A and B are shown apart, each in its own frame.
Chain A
Amino acid sequence: MIQMLSITDTHSDSPAHAVVTSIVNAIPSPELSWTGWILLLPAISVVLTGLCCALRVKSKLPGWITVLALAGSFALVLKLYFLRGDAGAPVVVHLWDWMNFRWGDQGKWYTLQADVSVYVDSLTLFWLLFVTGLGTLIAIYATEYMESDVGKGYARFFNGVSIFILAMCTLVMADNLLLLYLGWEGVGLASYLLIGYYYKKPAAVAAGKKAFIVNRMGDLGLAVGIWLIWVNYGTIEFNTLFQVWNDMERGVGSFDKSLIPYCLMLGAFGKSAQLPLYVWLPDAMEGPTPVSALIHAATMVTAGVYLIARTYPLFALHPDALATVAWVGGLTAIFSATIGMAQYDFKRVFAYSTISQLGYMFMGLGVGTTFGAAYHTLTHAFFKALLFLTAGAIMHGFAGQLDLRKLSGLRQVPGFKLVSWTMLIGCLWLSAFPYSAGMLSKDIILVQALSGKDHGFVWLGWIGLITAAMTAYYAFRVWFRVCAGPVFYMPGEEAHDDHDAHAAPTSHASHDFHPHAPRWAMNGVLIVIMLGAFATGIPGYMELRGESNWVQVMMAHSSALAGSVQAHVTDVVNFGMNPHQLVELFGTIASLGGIAIAMYFHLLQRKSADKLRAWLLAHNSIRWIPVAMENKWYVDEFYHACIRGPAWIAGHILHFTDKHVVDGLMVNGIGRIPAALGRLFQPLYNGVLQGYATTMAGGAALVVAWVVYRWLTSGVVA
């Protein structure tokens, strides 16, 4: 603890921290136009895999096209990274004009300028590195994972992956909010297409739809935020905005200025599955597992974190908004952890853990450590991708089995040894095992929260610590159930594609079933990502040792620089300890305690877990707790009853109104007036010629009579 104390002391004079105090004006760099290829390569892959889809290519070609394109993008990102280093000045590369027009010459407020151009600062690079890197690895993994779909959905799958990487790169490279919005919706589209990949499963289709629509609700906030920014600042280009925000004072501004961060955060909460818009992410697990790993764990869901980090100067101007972000993050973290503890589908457990970990990231942003948030994003990307990929390997091997009660002792099943041990690494990192990368990144956030002076951030820190214990419990609940213990397994009810010959195992009894172990592509990727997960610990160790590390330097040279330095706090907070000591002690207790409890209930005394559940259910006063947790606190049902239901009923009522009131009563009613009038005079038209003639003569006589009457009364006669 003492050592840690001294480390924080050295922070202030470490060179990297003192360099920049405001965001550097970006340099227009047309010579870097090759960065456009980072976007173009996935775009080409979209086209080529689309062609493969149309030509019904029956080989793994689309998979390798995608892998090549993504690897190319990753190589270009690396090239850019080595060119610029951690601390390069931001650059802007204009690619082509997009939604761009002007109606005056006065500059701001007289143009809407949203071009397809690239803004590269360290934040962009940071995200690009792990998006393209993990994207490539997961694509390689998927070439094997999806092999049973070769010739059917294979090309469609990789088409979706390419769309995703294209959109995600656009999102993080955008130089204006509108292009970011394009990427934002683009990743939503990719998510929609890939969640609904098994389109014959109604659940998958519904989940895709739900993801898109719930994300749209968040996008609404983002759209309004973009408009508010334009209204208030006259531009939506990041570079110009940063310069404006640099010069602004904290907490000053009109009502609608202070509304902007709330709108943006709504978008971020939608995309990153935070309260109250998290409901789509667990359902998104209907997609193929590489998709869950790539999109719904490692990359896309961190877009919200990216958005807030990108507009961090604005958030820094509004401390209340930041506090809201922190609290929403913290509450999401603990809320979804409670659900995660009670799920039996281990992919869902990981999904809730993703929501929970994203909550930590938002907590980090909110309490003021963008470094912590970004670092946690990085470590989480690796260990969560690892967890999902191991889950995928198990699904792949056991015909879609995801129930942790129906699998056991996999580490002794031939071929699953590596999967089990890599999964253990993932679980350790997730449960913030002391001195794992997961612990290092989480602690930065918790220390910052516990050092907070206002907005109840200290409480938030405690919530984070409790959540850490729960996280350790549910992570190891999965591992001890699935990988440890006696060997026992039942194959899933279906293979990962139900129109697939693989579905055969359904009819087989458990003892006939031979799990097929992952081969080199999957195992290799697992190893690489596991190594990556180890490597992500390096910046954390350097931070511990008081050295400047690249994550921190990158944040310090980006729009998120305001929170790039960790709080320099030594005052006593609780129990006679300062935040560092607190987190160190209680974090360790939480992690080990959680693991120990999980070990007792799910490895040593598996029966007692059932007994505990039975006991809880037997007591009426507390039985709601496990029931509610297993039913996800009935949030879906709540939304269904409060939003979808009323809207659906309104739709029926309005449809009825439209048919019978607007169309029936008003339009047809008016339409009936002439007919009714006509019926009044119908007797005159009896079909006999004389009848018509009489009418005509009578009409003429009336006209003559009227004219004569006018004559006589007009006085002209006299």
Chain B
Amino acid sequence: MTHLLAASQYGASHAVTITLAMSALLFTIGLIGFLVRRNMILMFLCTEIMFQAAALAFIAFGRMRMDTGGQIFVIFILTIAAAEAALALGLVILLFRRKETLSSEAWSELHE
């Protein structure tokens, strides 16, 4: 609460609050999707949603503090997400070729 109070000093507007709530909602959707789905492509999409939620939060806080840093970070995140998407999809395809399935449960050799 203190932080929210402090935020108001920077002029936290209603819009910021809504954006943050949106970010939280997006993140939760992404997380739940990640946890319940077994399809690796869908799981990957869910991580992307979480990424964007974080990016949204950056924008919101950047707006709140009137700091361009938040938006700079969003550009970074987008770039990295793009690069990582290319890599991850490549990996998923490789994994699919090995076991002819997209289920993440097929890859559980890490357990003891």
Contact residues of A with B, CB < 8 Å? 682, 685-690, 693-694, 697, 711, 716-717
Q: What residues on A are CB-neighbors of B36 within 8 Å?
A: 690
Query: What total of chain B residues lie within 8 Å of the partner, measured CB to CB?
Result: 16
Our pick among B2, B31, B108 for the contact of A688 (Cβ within 8 Å) is B108
Q: What residues on B are CB-neighbors of A685 within 8 Å?
A: 110-112
Is B38 touching A690 in the complex (CB atoms < 8 A)?
Answer: yes
Is A690 touching B2 in the complex (CB atoms < 8 A)?
Answer: no
Is A687 touching B108 in the complex (CB atoms < 8 A)?
Answer: yes
Our pick among A686, A693, A697, A716 for the contact of B108 (Cβ within 8 Å) is A686
Q: Report if B104 contacts A (CB, 8 A).
A: yes
Q: Report if B57 contacts A (CB, 8 A).
A: no
Q: What residues on B are CB-neighbors of A688 within 8 Å?
A: 104-105, 108, 111
Q: What residues on B are CB-neighbors of A682 within 8 Å?
A: 112
- Please encode chain B, from 90 to 112, with 1 for each CB lying within 8 Å of some chain A CB and 0 for all others: 00000000000000110111111
Is A716 touching B104 in the complex (CB atoms < 8 A)?
Answer: no
Our pick among A686, A690, A711, A717 for the contact of B34 (Cβ within 8 Å) is A690
Complex: how many Å from CA A694 to CA B35?
7
Q: Report if B43 contacts A (CB, 8 A).
A: yes
Our pick among A686, A697, A717 for the contact of B31 (Cβ within 8 Å) is A697
Is B104 touching A689 in the complex (CB atoms < 8 A)?
Answer: yes
Nearest-neighbor residue (CB-CB) of A687 within chain B:
B111
The contact sample of 16 A-B pairs, CB cut-off 8 A, is A685-B110, A686-B111, A687-B108, A687-B109, A687-B111, A688-B105, A688-B111, A689-B104, A690-B34, A690-B104, A693-B34, A697-B31, A711-B2, A716-B1, A716-B2, A717-B1
Candidate in A690, A697, A711, A716 with the most chain B CB atoms within 10 angstroms: A690
Smallest CB-CB A-B distances: 4 pairs: A687-B111, A687-B108, A689-B104, A687-B110
Complex: how many Å from CA A711 to CA B110?
38
Complex: how many Å from CA A711 to CA B2?
9
Nearest-neighbor residue (CB-CB) of B104 within chain A:
A689
Nearest-neighbor residue (CB-CB) of B111 within chain A:
A687
Q: A697-B31, A711-B1, A716-B2 are in contact. Are A689 and B111 (CB under 8 A)?
A: no
Our pick among B2, B43, B112 for the contact of A689 (Cβ within 8 Å) is B43
Q: What residues on B are CB-neighbors of A693 within 8 Å?
A: 34-35
Shortest C-beta distance, B71 to chain A (Å), equals 26
Nearest-neighbor residue (CB-CB) of B47 within chain A:
A693
Nearest-neighbor residue (CB-CB) of A716 within chain B:
B2
Known interface pairs A689-B43, A689-B107, A711-B1; 20 further A-B residue pairs with C-beta atoms within 8 A, sorted by A's residue number: A682-B112, A685-B111, A685-B112, A686-B108, A686-B111, A687-B108, A687-B109, A687-B110, A687-B111, A688-B104, A688-B108, A688-B111, A690-B34, A690-B35, A690-B36, A690-B38, A690-B104, A693-B34, A693-B35, A716-B2
Complex: how many Å from CA A716 to CA B2?
7
Nearest-neighbor residue (CB-CB) of B38 within chain A:
A690
- Please encode chain B, from 22 to 43, with 1 for each CB lying within 8 Å of some chain A CB and 0 for all others: 0000000001001110100001
Nearest-neighbor residue (CB-CB) of A701 within chain B:
B31
Complex: how many Å from CA A609 to CA B19?
122
Complex: how many Å from CA A687 to CA B110?
5
Shortest C-beta distance, B61 to chain A (Å), equals 17
Q: What residues on B are CB-neighbors of A716 within 8 Å?
A: 1-2
Q: What residues on B are CB-neighbors of A711 within 8 Å?
A: 1-2
Complex: how many Å from CA A697 to CA B38?
17
Q: What residues on A are CB-neighbors of B105 within 8 Å?
A: 688
Q: What residues on A are CB-neighbors of B1 within 8 Å?
A: 711, 716-717
Q: What residues on A are CB-neighbors of B108 within 8 Å?
A: 686-689
- 8 Å CB interface, B11-67 against A: 31, 34-36, 38, 43
Shortest C-beta distance, B11 to chain A (Å), equals 21
Q: What residues on A are CB-neighbors of B2 within 8 Å?
A: 711, 716
Shortest C-beta distance, A446 to chain B (Å), equals 88
Q: What residues on A are CB-neighbors of B43 within 8 Å?
A: 689
Shortest C-beta distance, A692 to chain B (Å), equals 8
Complex: how many Å from CA A688 to CA B38?
10
Shortest C-beta distance, A677 to chain B (Å), equals 14
Shortest C-beta distance, A635 to chain B (Å), equals 65
Q: What residues on B are CB-neighbors of A697 within 8 Å?
A: 31, 35
Complex: how many Å from CA A581 to CA B2?
116
Shortest C-beta distance, B106 to chain A (Å), equals 10
Shortest C-beta distance, A709 to chain B (Å), equals 13
Complex: how many Å from CA A717 to CA B3?
10
Q: What residues on A are CB-neighbors of B34 within 8 Å?
A: 690, 693
Nearest-neighbor residue (CB-CB) of B5 within chain A:
A716
Complex: how many Å from CA A711 to CA B38?
37
Q: What residues on A are CB-neighbors of B31 within 8 Å?
A: 697
Complex: how many Å from CA A685 to CA B111?
6
Complex: how many Å from CA A688 to CA B111?
8
Shortest C-beta distance, A644 to chain B (Å), equals 52
Q: What residues on A are CB-neighbors of B38 within 8 Å?
A: 690
Q: What residues on B are CB-neighbors of A687 within 8 Å?
A: 108-112
Candidate in A685, A686, A688, A717 with the most chain B CB atoms within 10 angstroms: A688
Nearest-neighbor residue (CB-CB) of A679 within chain B:
B112
Shortest C-beta distance, A684 to chain B (Å), equals 10
Q: What residues on B are CB-neighbors of A694 within 8 Å?
A: 35
Shortest C-beta distance, B8 to chain A (Å), equals 15
Complex: how many Å from CA A711 to CA B1?
7
Complex: how many Å from CA A690 to CA B104?
8
Complex: how many Å from CA A711 to CA B5?
13
Complex: how many Å from CA A685 to CA B108?
10
Complex: how many Å from CA A685 to CA B34?
17
Q: What residues on A are CB-neighbors of B110 within 8 Å?
A: 685, 687
Complex: how many Å from CA A313 to CA B111?
83
Q: What residues on A are CB-neighbors of B111 within 8 Å?
A: 685-688
Complex: how many Å from CA A688 to CA B107?
7
Shortest C-beta distance, B7 to chain A (Å), equals 15
Q: What residues on A are CB-neighbors of B107 within 8 Å?
A: 689
Nearest-neighbor residue (CB-CB) of A682 within chain B:
B112
Nearest-neighbor residue (CB-CB) of B108 within chain A:
A687
Shortest C-beta distance, A465 to chain B (Å), equals 88
Complex: how many Å from CA A711 to CA B3?
11
Complex: how many Å from CA A688 to CA B109?
8
- Please encode chain B, from 64 to 94, with 1 for each CB lying within 8 Å of some chain A CB and 0 for all others: 0000000000000000000000000000000
Q: What residues on B are CB-neighbors of A717 within 8 Å?
A: 1
Complex: how many Å from CA A693 to CA B30?
12
Complex: how many Å from CA A717 to CA B105?
45
Complex: how many Å from CA A285 to CA B86?
90
Candidate in A685, A693, A694 with the most chain B CB atoms within 10 angstroms: A693
Shortest C-beta distance, B54 to chain A (Å), equals 13
Complex: how many Å from CA A694 to CA B31?
9
Complex: how many Å from CA A687 to CA B108?
4
Complex: how many Å from CA A697 to CA B50?
12
Shortest C-beta distance, B25 to chain A (Å), equals 16
Shortest C-beta distance, A60 to chain B (Å), equals 76
Shortest C-beta distance, B41 to chain A (Å), equals 13
